[in-house]
Amino acid sequence: MNLEPEIFRSELSGDEYHLYHHPSGLDVLIMQMPGFTTTEALFAAKYGSVNNCFRTLDTGDFIKVPDGIAHYLEHKLFEGEECGVFERFAATGASANAFTSFDITAYTFSASSDYEEPLSILLDFVQHPFITDENVEKERGIIAQEIKMSDDSPTRALFFELLQSVYHDNPVNIDIAGTVESIQDITASLLMKCHGTFYNLNNMVLSIAGNVDDETVLRICDEKLVPSENKHLELFTAEEPDTVVKSRSVISREIGVPMFSLGFKCPPLKGRELLKTSIAADLMLKVLFGNMSDWYRNAFEQGLINSTFSTEVFSSEQGYFLLILSGEAKDPDAIYNSICDKIRSLDCSNFDSELLRTLIKGGYGSEIMKYNIVSECAEAMCFYYTQGVSCFDNLKIMSELTPEEVFETTKLLDTDRSSFCVVRK
């Protein structure tokens, strides 16, 4: 079958990848990386923990499923009727894994000598679940332990405390794995319903990078993919107020140094606009609070923060967009006041555009460095695809940003729409 790819190329780094719209309904992303030994693949469904209410032609009305079901399904797909999926991969020498995020569930493998058999297995097992009441029951204990392990992480507890403090109804405020209680309601038939709904090739993507060639990948796709009928999936999106749930919260854990996280709730965006605003806001945070800023120097030298301090833009097409400043601090209130003082004193005339220029140059280097690692290439293609943009849009947008556009994003630092969370003893 001859398919013509859409070609994405970075003029700056010379990297290139291809997007094929396979007739089965699946989009296939391929990056050939000459000289590399390994191949990394992700077969991903646009199905994450936030997709907990939906309808299709089959379901009729919207149905609400238990929290953590996408992650539970990820575990269950590794069952096989005759032997487990890991055993199938074992015979190829490849290493298989999977992960569930807020937005996607991805099944991965890494192979060195031969990627054809692992790719066949990957495409096969994800499309053909073997889910029984018995094996669903068996998994409950394993996932309960995974949840308890996560609950013991104060970093994770702080992150979800922040999300619950900021978002009223967006399901991003629910832990990806659910809770020990919520997973008790998950059944084989619900898992099959979710599989039938979201693991439709029209809602999936294959991203593969490394020692590959397009022709072989497409041949295996032709052999293994079972065309999907479009079921007209519709996701329920709750109206999310502009306000935060609570401006402040404290949780108690046995930890070494208190930890804090300050999140600013931003209006949801999509596609290129989301990417551009995210990049601009990320640069803005680095200019104001990054490790080359005056604010950072003062806070670090006064002992208000340590080197764990970081800034982050947490956003996606799923309606969440949050600017986060977090780290360890012996006196979290002092750091909160210092950040608020800085925000109050913002003025376009003293925005450090020279530092911004340096950051953009550094950002260029960081982007190029990313295309040096096979797994990062496969992940980046998949991630940007699910966000409706291309991998190389980052570089282009960054190089075109003006200081004014970056400064404009300081409007997102609205303390009336922020939550400050602390973990301490």
Partner 1 sequence: MSVELTRRECGKGMTLTKIHDDKFKTFALSVRMTVPFDDEYSPVYPLVLDILATCTRRYPEKEQFSKVLTELYSASVSTSSSRAGNYLLLTITLNCLCDEYTIGKEKVSETAARLLIDCILDPFLEDGMLSQKYMKLCKSDMLDDIDAIINNKRRYASVLAKKRIFRGEITAISPYDHREAVASADIGTVTKAYHKLLRTAYFEIAVTGGSCDEKVGNMLVDSLGALEREPIVINDYNAPSPIKDEVCRDGEECEANQSQLIIAYKSKSYNEYAAKLFISMLGATPMSKLFMNVREKMSLCYYCDAVLIDLKNTFVITSGLDAKDIALAEKAIDDQVRAMQEGDFTDEEFENAKLFLSEAYLSNYDSKYDILMWFYYQFMHGSCDTPEEKGSKIKALTREDVIREAGGYKLDTVFVLRPREGGSADES
Tell me which residues in 363-422 interact with partner 1 (CB under 8 A).
363-366, 368-369, 371-374
Binding-site member from 67, 282, 328, 393 for partner 1 (CB under 8 A): 328
Applying the rule CB under 8 A, the residues between 89 and 148 that interact with partner 1 are: 89-97, 110-113, 138-143, 145-146, 148
- Shortest distance, position 400 Cβ to partner 1, whole Å: 14
Compute how many residues bind partner 1; rule: CB under 8 A. 80
Q: Which residues make Cβ contacts (< 8 Å) with residue 377, sequence separation at least 6?
A: 15, 17, 31, 33, 40, 209, 210, 370, 371, 391
Residues 289-318 that bind partner 1 (CB under 8 A): 291-293, 296-297, 300-301, 303, 306-308
Q: Catalytic residue numbers?
A: 74
CB of 352 to partner 1, least distance (A): 11
> Using alpha carbons only, what angle is made at residue 159 by residues 261 and 302, rounded to the nearest 5 degrees?
25
Query: For residues 19 and 368, which CB has a smaller minimum distance to partner 1 in the complex?
Result: 368
Which CB, 184 or 306, lies closer to partner 1? 306
Helices 393-400/271-289 angle, 10° precision: 60
What CA–CA distance (Å, rounded) separates 161 from 163? Answer: 6
Least CB distance from residue 349 to partner 1, whole Å?
Answer: 21
CB of 225 to partner 1, least distance (A): 25
**Residue 129 or 319: which CB sits closer to partner 1?**
129
Output the smallest distance, CB 183 to partner 1, in A: 13
CA–CA gap between residue 393 and residue 387 (Å, rounded) = 11
Q: Which two tokens stand for residue 85?
A: 């999926």
Interface of this chain with partner 1, residues 207 to 246, rule: CB under 8 A:
210, 246
**Which structure tokens are listed for 263?**
């999140």
Q: How far is the CB of 143 from partner 1 (least distance, A)?
A: 8
Closer by beta carbon to partner 1, 148 or else 270: 148
- Radius of gyration for the alpha carbons in the chain, expressed in angstroms and rounded: 23
Give the nearest distance from C-beta 57 to partner 1 in angstroms. Answer: 36
For partner 1, which is the closer residue by CB, 257 or 348?
A: 257
Contacts (Cβ under 8 Å, ≥6 apart) of 307: 300
Tell me which residues in 2-41 interact with partner 1 (CB under 8 A): 12-13, 33-38
Q: Rounded to an integer, what distance in angstroms lies between the CA atom of residue 212 and that of residue 220?
A: 12
What's the closest the beta carbon of residue 420 comes to partner 1, in angstroms? 12
Supply angle C-alpha 220, 225, 227, rounded to 5.
Answer: 145
What is the x/- site pattern for partner 1, positions 38-57, by CB under 8 A? x-------------------
Please state, in angstroms and rounded to a whole number, the distance separating the CA atoms of residues 75 and 30.
26
Q: Which is nearer to partner 1, 113 or 402 (CB)?
A: 113
Q: Cα–Cα distance between 41 and 217 in angstroms, integer?
A: 11
Q: Does 188 contact partner 1 by CB under 8 A?
A: no
**Residue with structure tokens 């140059």?**
361
Task: Please give the residues from 143 up to 162 whose contact with partner 1 meets the rule CB under 8 A.
Answer: 143, 145-146, 148-149, 151-155, 157, 161
Summarize the chain as % helix, strand, coil (round to 5).
45, 20, 35
Q: Which of residues 159-178 bind partner 1 (CB under 8 A)?
A: 161
Of 111 and 212, the one with the shorter C-beta distance to partner 1 is 111
User: What's 212's DSSP letter?
Assistant: -
Bridge partner residues of 422 (DSSP): 250, 260
What's the CA angle centered on 90, arms 88 and 96, to 5 degrees?
85
Site string for partner 1, 249-268 (x = CB under 8 A): xxxxxxxxx-----------
Q: Which residue number, 188 or 235, has a Cβ lying nearer to partner 1?
A: 188
Q: At what angle do helices 294-301 and 271-289 cross, to 10 degrees?
A: 50
Query: Least distance in Å: CB of 253 to partner 1?
Result: 6
| Paired tokens of 135 | 């094996």
Segment 330 to 359, residues that bind partner 1, using CB under 8 A? 355, 358-359
Which is closer to partner 1, CB of 22 or CB of 75? 75
DSSP string, 103-158: S-EEEEEEESS--HHHHHHHHHHHHS----HHHHHHHHHHHHHHHHHHHT-HHHHH
